[in-house]
Structure 1
Amino acid sequence: MSDAITALADALASGAARVVDLTHRLDPDFPVIVLPPEFGQCARFRMEEVSAYDHRGPAWKWHNLTLNEHTGTHFDAPIHWVSGKDVANGAVDEIPPEAFIGPVVVIDCSEGAGQDDDFELTPEIIRDWEAKHGTIPADVWVLMRTDWSKRSGADYLNMREDGAHSPGPTPAAISLLLERGIRGFGTETVGTDAGQGMHYDPPFPAHYLLHGAGKYGLQCLCNLDQLPPTGAMLIAPPLKIKGGTGSPLRVLALIPGERP
């Protein structure tokens, strides 16, 4: 093995680096995004037993799965949104595999999101973060920590008469991140946009602006409170679905430090 790969293997074995799982468990009760009734809906996860060491298959157990590309912890490809429909290599099977592994920065918005369900990530918050940690480098993943993943059931979607209420970025915040040249943006909520993101200009700015620029999204992340502001490495390869707009996936982060 090369020196770099050997060093990584040694760091994982010794505990000098450790793996943090940023993925929710897939089960039928995990919430999915709810759209207005006139639109098509996202399928919940469903697992149907095919056989279980019985007459249907005496030596094996397996299941058929039903789910949407955007069920559970999942990846958004550029072609998921109308603004990215003509982006070159915009489907999950076309994205270069090296795009799925890269450095990550975490912007901690948990205090604000704990006080305001509609908390906004703004350029001012990003610049305050940069004043402490340095300018966000190009080609990194930016994750918005809100601790929203600690919610469950109805509190996770937080639906009201006027739709969902959950934190997210403003159009100006996404524009600033694009100026920085980021690779993608991730959240703990069911979407990369705020629950009331339809009221921005453009509507749903994270989706519209990011995917129009050929960038990627991650949603339904968890354990972001275990990541440092800088210095972690993200591993997030989606399933290689032909023409896929997204995919459930197992998102991992490598961070420095001893095992707990």
Structure 2
Amino acid sequence: MSNPQRIIDLTINLSDDLNGVEISSVKTIEKDGWNTSYYKIYSHVGTHMDAPRHFGNADQAIDEIAVGRFITPAWIIDATDVGPKGFITLRHLGVLLSEFSPGESLIIKTGWSSRLGTPEYLDDLPRISKELAEWCVENRVNILAVEQPSVADVHNLEEVTEIHKILMDGDVIIVESLINVEQITAAKVTMIAMPLKVKDGDGAPARVVAIL
């Protein structure tokens, strides 16, 4: 029987090519009869989820977020017109301003993942505007997911702290560094974002997929 669903993987591969990842062999088939490895991973490397503990808003760690929130309907927001260091604003929501239902999620499409591996990927990223962050809180967005490695300018401590605190104080889950968003053709998908269950973690790499 054919499956009408199409599943798109929105997750960056974790490899030694990424800053914050170290993978080393422990045992090999040739020497030991099986393969095993050590993984040393930065908590916010690649596609990942932030926990409120990340910016000290609350003491909620990544393992304490209700698992039911990780499977969610998500609207695709086209913000591909936003250039380097630009702001994603309420204008990009369009008709969603009236159609969004509390508890749903947003995936922001910017095309920024095409810059993965370049200096501008981190240095010149588009940012979530304060008004959009506040709208997400007021409308009870479940997960705000973006292609860029942060929702705000990581070189501006005041801005990055403000935007994260607005969202986290408002109980909006943040997922960053998506890829393959351009493959999503539907206006709305089911998103699954499952972070590693790290005790007392401030964040963790996550496997994120979209189901059309």
Report the TM-score, using the length of structure 2 for normalisation: 0.91
CA distance, structure 1, for counterparts of residue 137 and residue 105 of structure 2: 11
Q: Does residue 171 in structure 1 map to residue 130 in structure 2?
A: yes
Identity %: 25
**SS at 1:60 equivalent:** coil
Which protein shows a greater Rg? 1
**SS at 1:207 equivalent:** helix
**Pairs aligned (count):** 212
Q: Does residue 75 in structure 1 map to residue 49 in structure 2?
A: yes
Q: Bigger shift: 205-214 or 20-29? A: 205-214
CA distance, structure 1, for counterparts of residue 84 and residue 191 of structure 2: 27
Per the alignment, residue 73 of structure 2 pairs with 103
Code of the residue aligned with 2:107 in structure 1: it is L
Task: Check 1:91–1:139 CA distance in 2 against 1; reply closer, same or farther (3 A cut).
Answer: same
Task: Check 1:199–1:244 CA distance in 2 against 1; reply closer, same or farther (3 A cut).
Answer: closer
CA distance, structure 1, for counterparts of residue 18 and residue 55 of structure 2: 23
Per the alignment, residue 103 of structure 2 pairs with 139
Per the alignment, residue 37 of structure 1 pairs with none
CA distance, structure 2, for counterparts of residue 146 and residue 124 of structure 1: 14
**SS at 1:104 equivalent:** strand
CA distance, structure 1, for counterparts of residue 186 and residue 164 of structure 2: 24
The structural deviation recorded for 1:135 is 2.5
Give ranges in structure 2 of 5+ residues lacking alignment.
Answer: none
Superposition pairs of residues 24-103 of structure 1, within 5 angstroms: 24-31=12-19, 44-55=20-31, 57=32, 59-82=33-56, 84-86=57-59, 90-103=60-73
Give the aligned CA root-mean-square deviation in angstroms.
2.0
The structural deviation recorded for 1:125 is 2.6
**SS at 2:149 equivalent:** coil
Superposition pairs of residues 228-243 of structure 1, within 5 angstroms: 228=185, 230-243=187-200
Per the alignment, residue 246 of structure 1 pairs with 203
CA distance, structure 2, for counterparts of residue 178 and residue 193 of structure 1: 16
Per the alignment, residue 39 of structure 1 pairs with none
The structural deviation recorded for 1:214 is 2.4
Q: Does residue 225 in structure 1 map to residue 179 in structure 2?
A: no
Per the alignment, residue 96 of structure 2 pairs with 130
Q: Does the Cα contact within 8 Å between 1:77 and 1:215 map onto a contact in 2?
A: no
Code of the residue aligned with 2:134 in structure 1: it is S
Q: Does the Cα contact within 8 Å between 1:168 and 1:195 map onto a contact in 2?
A: no
Q: Does the Cα contact within 8 Å between 1:118 and 1:195 map onto a contact in 2?
A: no
Per the alignment, residue 118 of structure 1 pairs with 85
Q: Does the Cα contact within 8 Å between 1:185 and 1:192 map onto a contact in 2?
A: no
Report the TM-score, using the length of structure 1 for normalisation: 0.75
Task: Check 1:197–1:232 CA distance in 2 against 1; reply closer, same or farther (3 A cut).
Answer: farther
Q: Does the Cα contact within 8 Å between 2:55 and 2:161 map onto a contact in 1?
A: no
CA distance, structure 2, for counterparts of residue 14 and residue 195 of structure 1: 45
Code of the residue aligned with 1:157 in structure 2: it is Y
Code of the residue aligned with 1:47 in structure 2: it is I
CA distance, structure 2, for counterparts of residue 252 and residue 81 of structure 1: 26
The structural deviation recorded for 1:50 is 0.4
Task: Check 1:199–1:92 CA distance in 2 against 1; reply closer, same or farther (3 A cut).
Answer: closer
Give ranges in structure 1 of 5+ residues lacking alignment.
Answer: 1-12, 32-43, 159-163, 256-260
CA distance, structure 2, for counterparts of residue 246 and residue 228 of structure 1: 29
| 1:145-198, Cα deviation, whole Å (9 max, x unpaired) | 11111113224535xxxxx22101111111011111101211111112245654
